Amino acid sequence: MTMGFSGEVAAYYAKYRRGYSSQVLDVLQAALELDANDVVLDLGCGTGQLAIPLASRVRSVIGMDPEADMLRLAKESAAREPAQNVTWVLGSDADVPDLGTLLGKNSLALTVIGNAIHWMDYRDLFVELRPLCRARGGVAVIANGTPLWLQDSDWSRALLGSLERHYGRKLEATCGTGTHDRIRYAQALHEAGFEDVQEVVIEQRDELSFDQIIGGVYSAMPVDELPEPGDRADLTERVRQELGPQTVFVEDIRVSVLVGRVE
Ligand SMILES: C[S@@+](CC[C@H](N)C(=O)[O-])C[C@H]1O[C@@H](n2cnc3c(N)ncnc32)[C@H](O)[C@@H]1O
Protein backbone atom coordinates (compact mmCIF):
# COMPACT_ATOMS: atom_id res chain seq x y z
CA MET A 1 0.00 0.00 0.00
CA THR A 2 1.43 3.41 -0.77
CA MET A 3 0.32 6.47 1.17
CA GLY A 4 2.43 9.13 -0.50
CA PHE A 5 5.56 8.57 1.61
CA SER A 6 7.26 6.45 -1.04
CA GLY A 7 10.23 6.70 -3.40
CA GLU A 8 12.09 9.99 -3.22
CA VAL A 9 9.80 11.38 -0.51
CA ALA A 10 10.91 8.54 1.79
CA ALA A 11 14.54 9.37 0.99
CA TYR A 12 13.97 13.06 1.81
CA TYR A 13 12.27 11.97 5.03
CA ALA A 14 15.16 9.80 6.15
CA LYS A 15 17.70 12.49 5.33
CA TYR A 16 16.01 15.71 6.48
CA ARG A 17 13.28 15.04 9.07
CA ARG A 18 14.13 16.04 12.55
CA GLY A 19 14.42 13.23 15.06
CA TYR A 20 13.51 13.42 18.74
CA SER A 21 15.71 14.79 21.50
CA SER A 22 16.70 12.68 24.49
CA GLN A 23 14.44 14.98 26.52
CA VAL A 24 11.41 13.69 24.58
CA LEU A 25 12.53 10.09 25.11
CA ASP A 26 13.05 10.80 28.83
CA VAL A 27 9.47 12.10 29.07
CA LEU A 28 8.16 8.89 27.49
CA GLN A 29 10.32 6.69 29.68
CA ALA A 30 9.26 8.46 32.88
CA ALA A 31 5.55 8.73 31.99
CA LEU A 32 5.16 5.04 31.12
CA GLU A 33 7.86 3.71 33.48
CA LEU A 34 9.66 2.00 30.60
CA ASP A 35 12.29 -0.60 31.41
CA ALA A 36 14.23 -3.46 29.87
CA ASN A 37 11.25 -5.88 30.10
CA ASP A 38 9.00 -3.74 27.95
CA VAL A 39 7.63 -3.97 24.42
CA VAL A 40 6.80 -0.71 22.60
CA LEU A 41 4.81 -0.20 19.39
CA ASP A 42 5.80 2.76 17.20
CA LEU A 43 2.79 3.13 14.88
CA GLY A 44 3.46 5.15 11.72
CA CYS A 45 7.17 4.74 12.51
CA GLY A 46 8.30 6.23 9.18
CA THR A 47 12.07 5.95 8.85
CA GLY A 48 12.52 5.10 12.53
CA GLN A 49 12.84 8.54 14.19
CA LEU A 50 11.32 7.17 17.43
CA ALA A 51 11.65 3.40 17.11
CA ILE A 52 15.43 3.45 16.82
CA PRO A 53 16.33 5.61 19.85
CA LEU A 54 13.59 3.95 21.95
CA ALA A 55 15.10 0.53 21.27
CA SER A 56 17.98 1.07 23.71
CA ARG A 57 15.53 1.75 26.55
CA VAL A 58 13.29 -1.35 26.28
CA ARG A 59 13.39 -5.06 25.41
CA SER A 60 11.81 -4.77 22.01
CA VAL A 61 10.21 -2.23 19.66
CA ILE A 62 7.74 -2.96 16.88
CA GLY A 63 8.07 -0.33 14.14
CA MET A 64 4.88 -0.48 12.07
CA ASP A 65 4.13 1.54 8.94
CA PRO A 66 2.09 0.95 5.76
CA GLU A 67 4.82 2.36 3.50
CA ALA A 68 7.42 -0.20 2.42
CA ASP A 69 9.98 2.44 1.36
CA MET A 70 9.85 4.12 4.77
CA LEU A 71 10.36 0.75 6.49
CA ARG A 72 13.26 -0.16 4.20
CA LEU A 73 15.08 3.08 5.09
CA ALA A 74 14.23 2.61 8.79
CA LYS A 75 15.80 -0.83 8.66
CA GLU A 76 18.91 0.55 6.98
CA SER A 77 19.26 3.24 9.69
CA ALA A 78 18.76 0.68 12.45
CA ALA A 79 21.54 -1.45 10.97
CA ARG A 80 23.94 1.48 11.52
CA GLU A 81 22.93 1.75 15.23
CA PRO A 82 22.91 -0.59 18.16
CA ALA A 83 19.17 -1.13 17.54
CA GLN A 84 18.81 -4.78 16.56
CA ASN A 85 15.77 -5.27 18.80
CA VAL A 86 13.31 -3.53 16.44
CA THR A 87 10.89 -5.67 14.40
CA TRP A 88 9.72 -3.80 11.30
CA VAL A 89 6.14 -4.61 10.31
CA LEU A 90 4.26 -3.47 7.21
CA GLY A 91 0.85 -2.37 8.45
CA SER A 92 -1.41 0.50 9.40
CA ASP A 93 -3.72 1.42 12.27
CA ALA A 94 -6.29 -0.90 10.63
CA ASP A 95 -3.97 -3.84 11.40
CA VAL A 96 -3.76 -3.12 15.13
CA PRO A 97 -6.61 -5.54 16.01
CA ASP A 98 -4.68 -8.40 14.35
CA LEU A 99 -1.46 -7.30 16.03
CA GLY A 100 -3.36 -7.31 19.34
CA THR A 101 -4.50 -10.89 18.73
CA LEU A 102 -0.89 -11.85 18.13
CA LEU A 103 0.54 -10.04 21.16
CA GLY A 104 -2.29 -10.58 23.65
CA LYS A 105 -3.70 -8.34 26.34
CA ASN A 106 -1.50 -6.22 28.62
CA SER A 107 1.47 -6.74 26.28
CA LEU A 108 2.46 -3.17 25.30
CA ALA A 109 4.12 -0.72 27.68
CA LEU A 110 3.68 2.09 25.17
CA THR A 111 2.23 2.76 21.76
CA VAL A 112 3.85 5.89 20.41
CA ILE A 113 2.50 7.77 17.39
CA GLY A 114 4.79 10.54 16.15
CA ASN A 115 3.46 12.99 13.53
CA ALA A 116 1.22 10.28 12.12
CA ILE A 117 -2.08 10.32 14.04
CA HIS A 118 -3.74 12.52 11.40
CA TRP A 119 -3.62 9.56 8.99
CA MET A 120 -5.41 7.25 11.40
CA ASP A 121 -8.92 6.43 12.55
CA TYR A 122 -7.80 7.54 15.99
CA ARG A 123 -11.01 6.98 17.97
CA ASP A 124 -11.24 3.29 17.03
CA LEU A 125 -7.48 2.94 17.37
CA PHE A 126 -7.43 4.18 20.97
CA VAL A 127 -10.25 1.76 21.87
CA GLU A 128 -8.30 -1.12 20.28
CA LEU A 129 -5.09 -0.16 22.07
CA ARG A 130 -6.59 0.18 25.56
CA PRO A 131 -6.68 -3.58 26.44
CA LEU A 132 -3.22 -4.13 24.95
CA CYS A 133 -1.57 -1.79 27.47
CA ARG A 134 0.25 -3.27 30.42
CA ALA A 135 -0.42 -1.79 33.89
CA ARG A 136 0.67 1.87 34.03
CA GLY A 137 1.40 1.70 30.30
CA GLY A 138 -0.37 3.74 27.66
CA VAL A 139 -0.36 5.75 24.47
CA ALA A 140 1.71 8.81 23.52
CA VAL A 141 0.65 11.02 20.61
CA ILE A 142 3.51 13.30 19.63
CA ALA A 143 3.58 16.42 17.46
CA ASN A 144 7.20 17.16 16.64
CA GLY A 145 6.80 20.89 16.04
CA THR A 146 4.69 22.70 13.45
CA PRO A 147 5.00 22.29 9.65
CA LEU A 148 7.89 24.43 8.38
CA TRP A 149 5.54 26.68 6.36
CA LEU A 150 3.06 27.37 9.20
CA GLN A 151 5.36 28.89 11.79
CA ASP A 152 5.41 32.33 13.32
CA SER A 153 8.55 33.67 11.66
CA ASP A 154 9.35 35.77 8.61
CA TRP A 155 11.12 32.98 6.76
CA SER A 156 8.23 30.58 7.41
CA ARG A 157 5.68 33.12 6.08
CA ALA A 158 7.84 33.62 2.98
CA LEU A 159 8.00 29.85 2.53
CA LEU A 160 4.22 29.59 2.83
CA GLY A 161 3.77 32.28 0.16
CA SER A 162 6.16 30.47 -2.18
CA LEU A 163 4.49 27.09 -1.72
CA GLU A 164 0.98 28.47 -2.07
CA ARG A 165 1.95 30.13 -5.35
CA HIS A 166 3.46 26.84 -6.50
CA TYR A 167 0.37 24.78 -5.58
CA GLY A 168 -2.18 27.46 -6.50
CA ARG A 169 -4.09 26.80 -3.28
CA LYS A 170 -4.05 27.63 0.43
CA LEU A 171 -1.97 25.35 2.62
CA GLU A 172 -3.73 25.21 5.94
CA ALA A 173 -3.56 21.58 7.11
CA THR A 174 -1.84 21.41 10.50
CA CYS A 175 -1.21 17.63 10.25
CA GLY A 176 -2.38 16.95 13.79
CA THR A 177 -0.14 19.60 15.37
CA GLY A 178 -2.70 22.39 16.01
CA THR A 179 -4.16 23.19 19.43
CA HIS A 180 -7.60 21.99 18.34
CA ASP A 181 -6.15 18.73 17.07
CA ARG A 182 -4.43 18.10 20.39
CA ILE A 183 -7.68 18.71 22.30
CA ARG A 184 -9.55 16.27 20.03
CA TYR A 185 -6.95 13.56 20.57
CA ALA A 186 -6.90 14.12 24.35
CA GLN A 187 -10.68 13.83 24.46
CA ALA A 188 -10.64 10.64 22.39
CA LEU A 189 -8.00 9.09 24.68
CA HIS A 190 -10.16 9.91 27.66
CA GLU A 191 -13.29 8.47 25.99
CA ALA A 192 -11.41 5.25 25.15
CA GLY A 193 -10.75 4.73 28.87
CA PHE A 194 -7.28 6.17 29.30
CA GLU A 195 -6.77 7.97 32.58
CA ASP A 196 -4.56 10.75 33.60
CA VAL A 197 -4.42 12.20 30.04
CA GLN A 198 -1.91 15.00 30.00
CA GLU A 199 0.21 17.02 27.60
CA VAL A 200 3.90 17.60 28.21
CA VAL A 201 5.38 20.37 26.09
CA ILE A 202 9.09 20.55 25.31
CA GLU A 203 10.35 23.79 23.80
CA GLN A 204 13.45 23.54 21.62
CA ARG A 205 15.30 25.80 19.23
CA ASP A 206 17.17 24.74 16.13
CA GLU A 207 19.10 26.49 13.37
CA LEU A 208 18.29 25.20 9.92
CA SER A 209 20.19 25.56 6.67
CA PHE A 210 18.32 26.27 3.44
CA ASP A 211 18.91 22.63 2.40
CA GLN A 212 17.23 21.42 5.57
CA ILE A 213 14.23 23.63 4.88
CA ILE A 214 13.75 22.60 1.28
CA GLY A 215 14.55 18.95 2.09
CA GLY A 216 11.97 19.11 4.89
CA VAL A 217 9.40 20.53 2.47
CA TYR A 218 10.01 17.75 -0.07
CA SER A 219 9.80 15.14 2.72
CA ALA A 220 6.24 16.33 3.39
CA MET A 221 4.92 16.35 -0.18
CA PRO A 222 2.76 13.48 -1.38
CA VAL A 223 5.00 11.65 -3.84
CA ASP A 224 2.66 12.37 -6.79
CA GLU A 225 3.05 16.13 -6.09
CA LEU A 226 6.84 16.07 -5.89
CA PRO A 227 7.99 18.01 -8.97
CA GLU A 228 10.14 16.24 -11.57
CA PRO A 229 13.88 16.89 -10.99
CA GLY A 230 14.12 19.86 -13.43
CA ASP A 231 11.00 21.56 -12.06
CA ARG A 232 12.17 20.77 -8.54
CA ALA A 233 15.39 22.65 -9.17
CA ASP A 234 13.31 25.62 -10.41
CA LEU A 235 11.05 25.52 -7.37
CA THR A 236 14.06 25.22 -5.06
CA GLU A 237 15.59 28.28 -6.67
CA ARG A 238 12.37 30.29 -6.44
CA VAL A 239 12.01 29.44 -2.74
CA ARG A 240 15.66 30.35 -2.16
CA GLN A 241 15.08 33.76 -3.78
CA GLU A 242 11.95 34.40 -1.75
CA LEU A 243 13.54 33.43 1.56
CA GLY A 244 16.26 36.00 0.95
CA PRO A 245 20.02 35.93 1.41
CA GLN A 246 20.21 34.58 4.97
CA THR A 247 21.90 31.20 5.43
CA VAL A 248 20.67 30.29 8.92
CA PHE A 249 16.97 30.00 9.76
CA VAL A 250 16.00 29.84 13.43
CA GLU A 251 13.16 27.46 14.24
CA ASP A 252 11.39 27.47 17.59
CA ILE A 253 10.02 23.98 18.04
CA ARG A 254 7.15 23.09 20.32
CA VAL A 255 7.10 19.34 20.83
CA SER A 256 3.77 18.21 22.27
CA VAL A 257 3.66 14.79 23.96
CA LEU A 258 0.10 13.80 24.78
CA VAL A 259 0.09 10.83 27.15
CA GLY A 260 -2.85 8.67 28.18
CA ARG A 261 -2.19 5.95 30.73
CA VAL A 262 -4.02 2.99 32.22
CA GLU A 263 -4.01 2.05 35.91
C1 LIG B 1 5.06 12.19 8.87
S2 LIG B 1 5.51 10.48 8.96
C3 LIG B 1 6.00 10.26 10.67
C4 LIG B 1 7.17 9.34 10.84
C5 LIG B 1 7.74 9.25 12.26
N6 LIG B 1 6.80 8.64 13.18
C7 LIG B 1 8.15 10.61 12.82
O8 LIG B 1 7.74 10.91 13.94
O9 LIG B 1 8.89 11.32 12.16
C10 LIG B 1 3.94 9.72 8.89
C11 LIG B 1 4.03 8.21 8.73
O12 LIG B 1 2.74 7.67 8.95
C13 LIG B 1 2.56 6.59 8.05
N14 LIG B 1 1.13 6.34 7.90
C15 LIG B 1 0.27 6.87 7.00
N16 LIG B 1 -0.95 6.37 7.20
C17 LIG B 1 -0.88 5.51 8.25
C18 LIG B 1 -1.82 4.66 8.91
N19 LIG B 1 -3.10 4.64 8.54
N20 LIG B 1 -1.39 3.88 9.93
C21 LIG B 1 -0.08 3.92 10.31
N22 LIG B 1 0.84 4.71 9.73
C23 LIG B 1 0.45 5.48 8.71
C24 LIG B 1 3.24 7.06 6.77
O25 LIG B 1 3.57 5.99 5.90
C26 LIG B 1 4.46 7.77 7.34
O27 LIG B 1 5.57 6.93 7.42
User: Which residue's CA is the nearest one to ligand 1's atom 15?
Assistant: 119
What residues does ligand 1 touch, defined as CB less than 6 Å away?
3, 5, 17, 43-46, 49-50, 65-67, 70, 92-93, 114-116, 119-120, 144
pLDDT of residue 3: 61
Domain ranges across the chain: 7-147+174-206+252-261
19 CA distance to ligand 1 centroid (A)?
14
241 CA distance to ligand 1 centroid (A)?
32
The minimum-distance atom of ligand 1 relative to the CA of 220 is 1
Tell me the pTM. 0.96
Listed in sequence order, the residues at least 6 apart from 67 whose beta carbon sits closer than 8 Å to its beta carbon are 1, 2, 3, 5, 6, 10, 46
How does pLDDT run along the chain (263 residues), one tens digit per residue?
A: 456 899 999 999 999 999 999 999 999 999 999 999 999 999 999 999 999 999 999 999 999 999 999 999 999 999 999 889 999 999 999 999 999 999 999 999 999 999 999 999 999 999 999 999 999 999 999 999 999 999 999 999 999 999 999 999 999 999 888 999 999 999 999 999 999 899 999 999 999 999 999 999 999 999 999 999 999 999 999 999 999 999 999 999 999 999 999 99
66 CA distance to ligand 1 centroid (A)?
8
Tell me which CATH homologous superfamily contains domain 7-147+174-206+252-261: Vaccinia Virus protein VP39 (3.40.50.150)
User: Which residue's CA is the nearest one to ligand 1's atom 22?
Assistant: 44
Distance of CA 14 to the CA centre of its chain: 12
Q: Report how far apart the first and last C-alpha atoms of the chain are (Å, whole number).
A: 36
92 CA distance to ligand 1 centroid (A)?
8
Helix (H) or strand (E) holding 203: strand 195-208
